[in-house]
Amino acid sequence: MSQPPQPPPGAPTEFGPPPAAFGPVVPPMPTAPPTSVSLPKVRRARQWPAFALIAVGIALVLGSGTVYLTSGGAGAKGGPTAGAAEGTSKGAGSGEQGPPPEGKLLFHQFAPKAISATDRVAGEWATDKVYAKAGFKDITGYDRASGAQLWKLPLPTPECATTLQSTADGVTVIAYDDEKKPTFEGTGVCSNIAAFNITTGKMLWHTSTPVYGISADGTGDAHLFVQEIAISGGTAAAGSATDGGAAWDIATGKLLWKPTAGADNCRDDGYAGGPALVAVRRCGDVDRPSLSVQTLDPATGQPLSTYKVSSAFRDVHVLSSKPLVIGGYPGGDSSGAKVSDIYSVDATGKELAHITIPDEKYAIDCKLEVGTCLGPLAGGGKLFLPTAEHANVSPDVPGHTNEFVAFDLATGQPAPGRVDAGDGGKLFPIRMDGDNVIALRTPPVYGHGEVVRIEGATMKKTVLMQLPNDDKVFNRAIEIYDYRNDDLLYDRGRLYVGDRLMDKSDDEIDGPHYLISVLGTT
């Protein structure tokens, strides 16, 4: 990361129209998509049995993905901000009088038919004017008020990596497959990077990822395979887990750093973004690696602070970039899914507290990538965690329930207060809103789901929006989403649910299903 910045091959010198390979941006459609809830036959409507509550409840957290897990507040760069109207809501559990605002399905779009056995359509973003959603080989921007299509950006191949993060001026970065290097099942190597403006749909630049190799100068004939993208401070960093990382200046497409092979045999496993850019760096022997977590200068990649990870860990995850919170499982875990030990770290790289949590007591789910953990959120000096599901207080109520708790990041001790989801419901965090938490309470078998705000200081719950409990609306909007197969955003009083994976076999059995569903009060 100490090499001086070099421009990527073919990087543009100025912004212009989308490259010819992508095709023109499609002009606005003359009409808005249907807003009526009179729907064709799609997937079978159903009640909310216990197993569905568990699967859907966990799945809906996916929109927290990277941006909210690594963001200390709604005002941080790279994360949507909460609307002012959210602070005036009243509802159950808040200690205030008055019914909570009732949400409804505002607009939706059905997904195209899957071409392969499964086709990836992950990625969604929101600005004050536009909601954008990735489809199959394209990204479409919708007017966030009416749902009318504003633009469509064609892609030469399917996208293969996205982030919910964006710059302060509404630019985000995606990765898409290389047309020239097909791999298994007809998909390509995830080695192309592009930046586009979310409001206008304009492609700003695109380039191939750098090559890497075993020689000292880093040369080779294989392009970096992108597995995750993190955005912070005008920089987009791409991690590959096994081959090191690279980063670009989002405004210009200039390559800032790329993988290098040195005598110390070090590489970046991946990155977490948001208000800070954090790398997990791995050095030495594969079986006995030396790990460190570094807060980077986004412009140069140079470490601003370094935290040395205990030798007991073979992999660690960044649960929050600012405040810096990391988690891992001693001894390693081949899936990278477990977290039993959590550490808070200050701005100098000094460890503040060690929080030990019983295995599987909390709803924390991680994959191999650095910034993929779902569940933990941090802000206001606290770490917020949902507990794992457990039996209801009342044995007569179907389903399971959980709670939402907090830990002090300075001491590692449990913080006072907790929020109960109530029999049959479950709480899962979506994102931070300043020092507070925005969370989803999944609906019990007989009742409504809710979007709620939990005050970080007091753990008091306020209902921001009551979700519809109509099989023709809300259940159909989310019943097709499976574990980790959806995106979720809550922004300016609206809940955006987007599909991530199209399944050909499901299409053939159940017919068309939702690509996007947008719920709100107005």
- What pLDDT is attached to residue 471? 52
Q: How large is the average pLDDT for residues 340-345?
A: 96
pLDDT at position 120, please? Answer: 86
For residue range 460-499, list pLDDT tens digits in order: 999 999 988 765 555 544 544 344 456 789 999 999 988 8
Q: pTM of this prediction? A: 0.81
Domains of the chain with CATH codes: 20-29+40-520 (2.130.10)
Distances 119 to 64, 507, 513 between C-alpha atoms, Å: 22, 12, 14
Nearby residues of 132 by Cβ (< 8 Å), 6 or more positions away: 124, 125, 126, 139, 140, 141, 142, 198, 201
pLDDT (tens digit, 9 = 90+) per residue, 63-73? 333 333 333 43
3-state SS, 26-59, equals ECCCCCCCCCCCCCCCCCCCCCCCHHHHHHHHHH
Contacts of 328 (CB under 8 A, 6+ apart): 309, 313, 315, 316, 317, 339, 340, 341
- Residue 443 confidence (pLDDT): 80
Note whether 269 and 243 are within 8 A (CB): no
Q: What is the pLDDT of residues 353-378, one digit of tens each?
A: 999 998 789 998 888 899 988 899 99
Picking from 363, 406, 444, the residue whose alpha carbon sits closest to that of residue 62 is 363
Dump pLDDT digits (tens) for 94-103. Answer: 334 467 889 9
Residue 137 has pLDDT above 80, yes or no: yes
Render pLDDT for 263-284 as a digit per residue (tens, 0 to 9): 678 999 999 999 999 999 999 8
DSSP letter, residue 5: P
User: Could you read off the pLDDT of 401-451 as tens digits, one per residue?
Assistant: 999 999 999 999 999 999 999 998 889 889 999 999 999 888 887 788 899
pLDDT of residue 15 exceeding 60: no
How far is residue 368's CA from residue 141's CA, in Å, rounded to a whole number? 31
Give the model confidence (pLDDT) of 211-227 as tens digits. 876 444 445 567 899 99
Residue carrying the six token digits 């004050």: 128
Give the per-residue pLDDT at 93. 35
